[in-house]
Chain A
Amino acid sequence: MQDYKHIGKDFVPPDIAGKVTGEGKYTEDIHAEGMVFARLYTSPMPHGRVTRIDTSAIENMKGIVGVLTADDVPAPEVPDPPILTNHPVYLGEPILAVAAEHESIAEAALARIRVDIEPLPFVVDPLDSVVEGGPNARDEGNIFVRFGEGAGFHTVKWTPEQVAEFRAGKEPSGEFLQEWSYGDLEKGFADAEVILEEPFVTAGYPHMSMEPRTAMAYWEGDTCYVYASSQSQSYWMPGLAKLLDIEQDKLVLVSEYTGGGFGSKFAPYPAAALPGWFSKKVGRPVQLHISREQEFYIGSARAGFQGRIKIGFAKNGRVTAADVAIVEDIGPMTASGNTSAAGGAISVVYDPEAMRWRGLPVITNTTPRGAQRGPGQNQIAAVMAPLIDKAARLLGIDRLEIRKLNATDSSTTVYAEQAPVTSAYLEEALTKGAVEFDWANRSAAPRLRGNVVRGLGIGQAYHSTGVTGYDGLVRITPDGVVHLHSGVGNLGTYSYASVTRAAAEVLKCDWEDCVIHHGRTDRHLPWNSSQAGSNTTFTQTRTNYVAAVDAVAKMKSVAAESLGGSADDYEIDGERVFLRANSGRNMTYAAIAQRAIELGGAYSGQNAPEDINGVTRRAVQALSGTGLIGVAKDTLPQNGIIPGLAVAFVEIELDLETGKYNILDYACVAECGTVVHPQGLSAQMIGGAVWGMGMAGLEKHVYDPQNGLPAHVGFNQCRIPTYLDTPPAIRSSAVDLPDPQNPVGARGIGEPAMGCAAAAVMAAISDALDGHTFSRTPVTPDMIVNHVANRAMSFKPLQTNSF
């Protein structure tokens, strides 16, 4: 399929009108009759043990409906996050909830409830816990390995000398618990003309989704209706049912609009289940309001890195070896491990001939961490770019050429297992971007004007962008309408809609005749992947494709049954199924749908394939008999890593006196296979650019080491980029070469869109300062001012979560 009807063209997604009119309802916009209002009491200290909860002062308070404590809800396996706790491990962790007729009453009640908490030792900087004699953030130990060999809690301590050597960027002798490698590392470094060794820090920081995750729930009989802010749709069902201790067919999730997620809402989180428990207890709908402050606490954050990297370069600039060791700040609970992904990203973007990665995941009493836009991949991209430039400078090689030399292509093998990639065109992206940005001429232009110096940077980033094995579901009804059932969540990417265009493409139907069903699981949605990891575009174009292919096969069969011949004798076009030899003999889709209902069986969903997921099966059962059903599991062949790649070119103007820089111009190129939705891709590239600019210059956790209090709770303190922090214009384009393992050639892009920006800005800052590498994100004005004045930094080496 090359000359596409829908793929590669823009369209108006059905939900956008609700956004510009305000008619779109987010969870807190929705009121259920008789609803009561719940507020959380959260821990005022970073680590403690609740010794007493005294609610006697509110027992007779007018308007109080109920109190929910940790005793009222199931406790998960430590350290999975609990719904409520009597042993808080971070400041802001929910301890109890109060429900009242009016929210002002609930708030007043919180002030009267007495909670006694015994303070316990706490940790806000991982290296303060790793050093001998340092506190542990949890009773169970100071390390938690989530997956694989050695999974579980551990206690690891380094001597003060080992910590000092790590801070100095020397070969670490302290214990790491995780490791992988490939190739001959020793030979790689022996072959190197230039070897760089640097310590680095990348700050963790919160997601700061615009919509605080207020949740609401009520019961109808034994069925729970949950209204929540979610990235994913059908993917939430098993996990949310488990949190509520019910079967999946007794759960309806409503999440039609979600105000941002960025990884923090891809899987169900405990606050989404709290209203269900509370509603069961008090017998009324319960809305749990989450304030901006509470969203900071429970809304997830990026893991932090304190690391050391050693990279070897051959004379021609080829990366011969890379050795990276990372101490990871994983917060107080289970968190997606970021550091292995960081190592993986180096192996993809720069393809070192030999590599070793080591990781040590350390628990701290800071806000819980989780997946955040390119977790691991994007922060390491920001560290790598200035180092690549440093090597280029030392070797006398152009900064663009050194990247092209090391660029991933379709023959590159990646990760520890040296797996193949489905396709990759990183050099093409670099070439295209360089032309777009006029790299050659800009590099040659003068740099210094008084105290203001220009800096140029090139950034590259990667994320894996697809999975397989999910289901697709389409339906044609006797009125001729094509129903596209999308189990994809709506976090603002429009991919819930754009992926269904693959089905419309196969069906060759007009977009005006299509209706997309999404947003509520009782709209009978198939089992789709989580909306995370940039995977949706690849994964769900495949599921829509196979479902539509199934529908077409059935339609041809139905036509043959009515008009004679065999299914192979038929074609489709113009929303008709016609005999190839005589197009006059045909049936409309509408008529086919009617006949399908009459025939029953697989045609109308009375029977469904054996291999589809239970979620899809229930959807098909509910739709059975309403039309022609196309349903299938994606079992198309898939082999190798599915890469999403992006490059960015940026120019900044940095004031040496103030340490402030302005981003003057930014051009980026996506390498994500065939472009399915041009405006949607542009949205990801421009949005990712802003995220990357925030990582490079603005955002970080700040904790007071004396009492573990966070200092950056609001938008003004945890500075996220505004219009004025970003350039007046951002240009994006795409390589647009099809991937062979996707039926429309598509791969994903959301996360690399950010990493390339963070990398490019870090490189530009370094370039403006004659190649000085801070190897720390964010680079803040005080760091630049101190460097220019030849003064020490205001923090000690590798110090993190501090000012």
Chain B
Amino acid sequence: MKLPHSRRRFIQGAIASSVATSGCSAQRSANTEAAASEVSTEPLELRINGRSHSCTVPPQETLARTLRDELELTGTKVGCNRGECGTCTVLIDGVPNYACSTLTHSVRGRNVTTIEGLRDADGALHPVQQAFIDELAPQCGFCTPGQVMVAVALLSENPDPSREEVRQALSGNICRCGAYEHYINGVLRAAKTAV
């Protein structure tokens, strides 16, 4: 069974492109000292949801931070900030990534899609979003944007997945409410709808 969005591929990508900020206070203060002092960087051109943004971003800032604080796109939630939960999943050139473990500078020249970018031109919900409503998939909703994004990526690569393929593809997204059954049902429903 092909697993395009495997954890192995993600981990390889993450190591190549970023260093996750750790909880160690000494390292944290070194990073933030730089932020506190006025390090000037050239404005960065970012393509988010098909629009260009010009932002001044410190080199160690994560994409999650830039999206939420700089661009006020708070749809991407942060559950752990250390690459363990998948809540902050966004698409980078169509591939699911943890925004908390991606340096913003590393997405220069790439297309980032967040939860805010899924509605169509008329404002209609993406089939995955509508299907999640129809199946009452979200419970507390905090992991939901991440689940939506990875489901969107799956269906664009594999429009007719089996139940097991859905389960494997979404396995990088934790849900503490345990809504897995309804999420899987939602993805399968969206697959039928989109046909």
Contact = CB atoms under 8 A, between A and B. Distances in A.
A689 B141 contact: no
B182 A723 contact: no
Contact of A108 (B36, B136, B180): B36
A683 B74 contact: no
A720 interface: yes
B182 to A, nearest CB: 6
B112 interface: no
A492 B139 CA distance: 4
B177 A108 contact: no
Interface in B100-134: 114-116, 118-119, 125, 128-130, 132-133
B86 to A, nearest CB: 9
A107 B32 contact: yes
16 contacts: A17-B133, A19-B141, A20-B130, A28-B74, A29-B74, A111-B25, A111-B26, A111-B28, A111-B29, A211-B79, A686-B180, A686-B182, A688-B178, A720-B176, A726-B180, A728-B184
Nearest to B61: A104
A15 B140 CA distance: 10
Interface stretch (B8-16, B153-161, B167-175): B167-175
B181 interface: yes
B80 interface: yes
Given A16-B133, A104-B36, A211-B79, A258 B170 contact: no
Given A20-B148, A107-B29, A715-B85, A102 B163 contact: no
Nearest to A714: B84
A105 B36 contact: yes
B93 interface: no
A18 B74 CA distance: 12
B70 interface: no
A680 B179 CA distance: 11
B59 interface: no
A21 interface: yes
A494 interface: yes
A210 B133 contact: no
B167 A723 contact: yes
A306 B75 CA distance: 43
Nearest to A212: B79
A635 interface: no
The 9 closest A-B pairs by CB, nearest first: A22-B75, A690-B178, A19-B141, A259-B142, A492-B140, A111-B29, A104-B32, A22-B115, A492-B139
A733 to B, nearest CB: 13
Contacts of A715: 79-80, 84-85, 174
Contacts of A19: 132, 138, 141, 144
Contact of A102 (B31, B35, B115, B130): B35
A680 B136 contact: yes
A721 B177 CA distance: 10
B5 to A, nearest CB: 13
Given A22-B76, A110-B25, A260-B140, A62 B36 contact: yes
A683 B174 contact: no
B180 A23 contact: no
Contact of B142 (A112, A211, A723, A729): A211
Interface residues of A, number: 67
Contacts of A260: 139-140, 142, 176-177
A127 to B, nearest CB: 30
B96 interface: no
Contacts of A691: 178
Given A19-B144, A259-B140, A715-B80, 12 more contacts: A20-B137, A22-B114, A26-B142, A105-B32, A110-B29, A258-B140, A262-B176, A291-B81, A493-B139, A687-B177, A723-B171, A728-B163
Contacts of B75: 21-23
By size class, the interface of chain B is: 35 or more
Interface of B: 23, 25-26, 28-29, 31-33, 35-36, 68, 72-82, 84-85, 87, 114-116, 118-119, 125, 128-130, 132-133, 135-145, 148, 163-164, 167-168, 170-171, 173-182, 184
A728 B87 contact: no
A440 interface: no
Contacts of B31: 104
Interface in A327-369: none
A715 B88 CA distance: 14
A722 interface: yes
A18 B133 CA distance: 10
Contacts of B139: 260, 492-493, 683, 687
Given A210-B177, A492-B141, A721-B178, A292 B79 contact: yes
A156 interface: no
A789 interface: no
A651 to B, nearest CB: 16
B138 to A, nearest CB: 4
Contact of B140 (A210, A679, A682): A210
A686 to B, nearest CB: 4
Contact of A492 (B28, B81, B129, B177): B177
A691 B179 CA distance: 10
B146 to A, nearest CB: 10
Given A492-B140, A690-B180, A21 B77 contact: no
A724 interface: yes
A737 B122 CA distance: 45
A721 B35 CA distance: 37
A723 B170 contact: yes
A291 B23 contact: yes
A102 B144 CA distance: 28
Contact of B182 (A104, A208, A209, A682): A682
A705 to B, nearest CB: 22
Nearest to B169: A723
Nearest to A25: B74
Contact of B181 (A23, A25, A724, A730): A730
Nearest to A41: B25
Interface string A23-37: 111101101000000
B110 to A, nearest CB: 20
A680 B139 CA distance: 9
Interface in A102-136: 102, 104-105, 107-108, 110-112
Contacts of A107: 25, 28-29, 32
B141 A18 contact: yes
A517 B8 CA distance: 46
A208 B74 contact: no
Contacts of A724: 167-168, 171
A63 interface: yes
B25 A259 contact: no
A12 interface: yes
Nearest to A691: B178
B142 A22 contact: no
A212 B87 CA distance: 12
A687 B29 contact: no
A686 B32 contact: no
Contacts of B133: 12, 16-17, 20
A234 to B, nearest CB: 19
Given A492-B140, A714-B80, A723 B35 contact: no
B140 A683 contact: no
A598 interface: no
A140 interface: no
Contacts of A28: 74, 78
A28 B68 CA distance: 10
**Among the interface residues A10, A102, A690, which one has the most CB atoms of the partner chain B within 10 A?**
A690
B83 to A, nearest CB: 9
Nearest to A685: B181
Contact of B136 (A258, A683, A729): A683
A589 interface: no
Given A108-B32, A491-B140, A679-B136, A292 B81 contact: yes
A218 B180 CA distance: 37
Interface string A718-741: 001111101011100000000000
Nearest to A13: B136
B97 to A, nearest CB: 16
